[in-house]
Amino acid sequence: MYQIECDTHTHTLYSRHAYSTIEENVRAARDCGIKLLASTDHFSDMLFGDYENVKNYQYFFCSSNWPRQWNDVMVLRGCEADIVDMEGHFFGHDIAVEKSVVGDPYDPERNLQELVFERLDFVIASVHAKRHTEGKSVAENTKMYIKALENPKVFFIGHIGRAGVPFDMDEVLLRAKELNKAVEINEHSFFWEGHHQMVCRDIAVRCAELGVSICVNTDAHMSLEIGQTQKAQAVLEEVGFPQELIINRTKESFLEGLSKSGVCNVQIMG
């Protein structure tokens, strides 16, 4: 099995279809030897009916209250943001926010995406609802992913192999490499049989051939899943994926990758 010391795609109760608190996830990370945990709840219209109400996003605004070192685990603050159009924009980019949570006016007016992203260490760019891609060409989908990758807060694309959106693999992967960013191999992608598993395998093979970094994560939606990437690792072993291209193999390699990409610079602790 591979050395993977970080789990950088995890969810808490805030995501509504997840079942553990941040404290429970941190404890689970400590118990299974994870040295760095990133909590990356959904930032998407799937969470709230009243998704334009800024008060619904206090969870992100206040995540800076989490200690960096918590139960011997380094904790990063992130989100999994939905790509919502063919220009690679994210949820919240077109939601104007006139007042803060306590009612103070913003001058100038802000948008919801800016308010959330600026408080986080990094963002995962994912497609969930793919209605905006229906009828679009491979070239258009490829441009969408590249535009999302180019957002200065995005560090990697989430579960691109199971999103069901066809794209030019080499073009996206090479752009990720140019930007010193990564693509994700996601444990949840191997929970269900389907064509997407072969796509994930093909992505891993091509990343190895092109020298593109991957991030191997659980996408945990409950604490017992934290750090459990056996299915993903089995695929990587099958294709002979090189350890040195797994960007979350150690705490140091993940933080170095964040810094090299220009996304953020978090001091190594512990």
Q: Do 45 and 92 meet the contact criterion of CB atoms below 8 Å apart?
A: no
* Residue whose token pair is 């497609």: 127
Q: What is the CATH number of the domain that holds 65?
A: 3.20.20.140
Measured CA to CA, the distance from residue 139 to residue 22 in angstroms comes to 39
Domain membership of residue 270 (yes or no) is no
Mean pLDDT of 108-119: 96
- With H, G, I as helix, E, B as strand and everything else as coil, classify residue 107: strand
Domain membership of residue 63 (yes or no) is yes
Domain membership of residue 266 (yes or no) is no
Domain membership of residue 34 (yes or no) is yes
Domain membership of residue 255 (yes or no) is yes
Domain membership of residue 210 (yes or no) is yes
Strand positions, DSSP E, 159-265: 182-186, 214-217
Domain extent at residue 131? 6-261
Tokens of 188: 């949840």
How sure is the predictor about 59, in pLDDT bands with cuts at 50, 70 and 90? very high
Measured CA to CA, the distance from residue 217 to residue 249 in angstroms comes to 11
* Amino acid 26: pLDDT: 98
Measured CA to CA, the distance from residue 111 to residue 100 in angstroms comes to 11
Domains held by the chain: number = 1
* Amino acid 52: pLDDT: 87
Domain membership of residue 269 (yes or no) is no
What is the model's pTM?
0.97
Tokens of 156: 């990697």
270 or 113, which is more confident?
A: 113
Domain membership of residue 156 (yes or no) is yes
Q: Do 109 and 96 meet the contact criterion of CB atoms below 8 Å apart?
A: yes
- Is residue 269 pLDDT above 80, yes or no? no
How sure is the predictor about 51, in pLDDT bands with cuts at 50, 70 and 90? confident
**Residue 251 belongs to what H/E stretch?**
helix 251-261
